[in-house]
Amino acid sequence: MAQLTQRAATFQRTLSAAAFSVSSTRCLNTASTSPITVETSLPFTGHKIDPPSRSVETTPQELLSFFRDMALMRRMEIAADSLYKAKLIRGFCHLYDGQEAVAVGMEAAITKKDCIITAYRDHCIFLGRGGTLLEAFAELMGRKDGCSKGKGGSMHFYKKEGGFYGGHGIVGAQVPLGCGLAFAQKYSKDENVTFAMYGDGAANQGQLFEALNMAALWDLPAILVCENNHYGMGTAEWRAAKSPAYYKRGDYVPGLKVDGMDALAVKQACKFAKEYALKNGPIILEMDTYRYHGHSMSDPGSTYRTRDEISGIRQERDPIERIRKLILSHDLATEKELKDTEKEVRKEVDEAIAQAKESPLPDPSELFTNVYVKGLGVEAFGADRKELRAVLP
């Protein structure tokens, strides 16, 4: 009992210190790193490969950081929803809430030297790769402190130094690009891997199979991760794919089906996949996951699925609730401590939004910057070329 109080006191001190920091880095580093073994809730299913064990090694620190990171991601996405409705975010906004376990589990298994590339539902992956809340919100609102200086928008977040290559708007294009990253890693003898993420909608794209064929021919360290949230925009997987067993679609390429709502299962699968890909070439991971929001902010998400289905998943499989239960059942923190973490995370998000709102729109001269790396002193024109022109440096 005394031990618990002491641990709680340390915890609370760390929390209040953290309340003043705006970064999303893990601050629960006074928690223990002694190993715990947890069983994943579902076994893995393998295609042409023996799946890894259901027993996952983790630590209290890791579980607490999973909770915090996922809570942060969840809060960020919900705040983005409000900002979009307030018309501070324009255009497209594809939210990831429900799928957080994939981003967080993956990060736990890899390093920043491994690469990740994904499609347009990229806000949380960006955060996982080291992106800050300020960079994310400022980019969403098109301000100069955004990660792409306001010139990309929701679908074009990047963090090259964190191994995050975007942020792509064309469905499926990111998969050959990801195989290209893996090609370059192998060419450079880097001993790292690339995770090329795509959805169940993109899984039918021809270019995916073209890239997979070459990745297999050349033994590229490419891991194709299908985030199967069961709906490609408004089309359910069974209406789009003759075979929705996406982990089997690689045919000669082995695959693993993973419970994508279980961060530990995701971690185990990604660790397994990385070891495999470095030795043998490509592997497919199918993450069985779910998005609570519609495809984007213009989609209510309830015309092609029932509200019961959505609330059912929230009840039974929510990734944050799962970790919460695990933490509580292992006595790693109290309910109040976890609620405090959520409050703290909410405050962090609110502060980042306030700061992002202060960030100005990009300077008009930015219209013409970054068209080229080397502009050669060439002229570029605005709508009225006699009125608006610039020399590209």
Partner 1 sequence: MLGVLRRKVACKANASALEQGIRVAASRAFSSSGKEMTVREALNSALDEEMSADPKVFIMGEEVGEYQGAYKISKGLLEKYGPERVLDTPITEAGFAGIGVGAAYYGLRPVIEFMTFNFSMQAIDHIINSAAKSNYMSAGQISVPIVFRGPNGAAAGVGAQHSQCYAAWYGSCPGLKVLAPYSSEDARGLLKAAIRDPDPVVFLENELLYGESFPVSAEALDSSFCLPIGKAKIEREGKDVTITAFSKMVGYALQAAEILAKDGISAEVINLRSIRPLDRSTINASVRKTNRLVTLEEGFPQHGVGAEICASVLEDSFEYLDAAVERIAGADVPMPYAANLERMAVPQVDDIVRAAKRACYRSSSLAASA
167 binds partner 1 (CB under 8 A): yes
Q: Which of 184, 354, 361, 388 binds partner 1 (CB under 8 A)?
A: 184
Q: Which of 52, 131, 152, 232 binds partner 1 (CB under 8 A)?
A: 152
Cα–Cα nearest to 62, from 260, 261, 264? 264
Q: Which of 43, 46, 169, 234 binds partner 1 (CB under 8 A)?
A: 169
**Nearest to partner 1 of 176, 244 (CB atom):** 176
148 binds partner 1 (CB under 8 A): yes
Q: Residue 167, preceding bond cis, omega within 30 degrees?
A: yes
218 binds partner 1 (CB under 8 A): yes
Q: Which of 142, 178, 244, 255 binds partner 1 (CB under 8 A)?
A: 178
Contact call for residues 231 and 304 (beta carbons, < 8 A): yes
Number of H helices and number of E strands within the chain?
12, 12
3-class SS of residue 103: helix
Binding segment for partner 1 (CB under 8 A), chosen from 66-74, 106-114, 167-175, 339-347, is: 167-175
Q: Which of 13, 85, 160, 314 binds partner 1 (CB under 8 A)?
A: 160
Q: Starting at the edge strand that comes first in sequence, how are the strands of the sheet with 283-288 ordered?
A: 45-47, 255-259, 283-288, 222-228, 194-199, 115-117
At its nearest, how many Å lie between partner 1 and the CB of residue 377?
4
Contact call for residues 284 and 250 (beta carbons, < 8 A): yes
DSSP H helices in 281-388: 307-317, 319-329, 335-358
Binding segment for partner 1 (CB under 8 A), chosen from 86-94, 210-218, 255-263, 338-346, is: 210-218
# residues near partner 1 by CB under 8 A: 54
183 binds partner 1 (CB under 8 A): yes
Cα–Cα nearest to 141, from 213, 177, 198, 91? 91
138 binds partner 1 (CB under 8 A): no
121 binds partner 1 (CB under 8 A): no
387 binds partner 1 (CB under 8 A): no
**Nearest to partner 1 of 188, 306 (CB atom):** 188
Contacts of 311 (CB under 8 A, 6+ apart): none
Query: How far apart, in Å, are the Cα atoms of 126 and each of 116, 117, 278?
Result: 9, 10, 24
Per-position x/- string for 188-207, each x denoting binding to partner 1 as judged by CB under 8 A, each - no binding: x-----------------xx
Query: How far apart, in Å, are the Cα atoms of 319 and each of 49, 99, 182, 330, 336?
Result: 26, 8, 29, 17, 19
At its nearest, how many Å lie between partner 1 and the CB of residue 212?
8
383 binds partner 1 (CB under 8 A): no
Per-position x/- string for 359-378, each x denoting binding to partner 1 as judged by CB under 8 A, each - no binding: ----------xxxxxxxxxx
Contacts of 301 (CB under 8 A, 6+ apart): 291, 292, 293, 294, 295, 310
380 binds partner 1 (CB under 8 A): yes
Tokens at residue 308, please?
């019961």
211 binds partner 1 (CB under 8 A): yes
Measure the CA–CA gap between 387 and 257, rounded to whole angstroms.
57
230 binds partner 1 (CB under 8 A): no
Per-position x/- string for 76-115, each x denoting binding to partner 1 as judged by CB under 8 A, each - no binding: ---------------------------------------x
Q: Which of 58, 118, 154, 185 binds partner 1 (CB under 8 A)?
A: 185
Exposure string over 339-375, b if 16+ CB within 10 A, otherwise e: ebbbebbbebbebbbebbeebeebeeeeebeeeeeeb
**Nearest to partner 1 of 218, 304 (CB atom):** 218
Give residues in contact with partner 1 (CB under 8 A).
Answer: 115, 117, 148-152, 156, 158-160, 165-170, 173, 175-185, 187-188, 206-207, 209-211, 213-214, 217-218, 369-380, 385-386
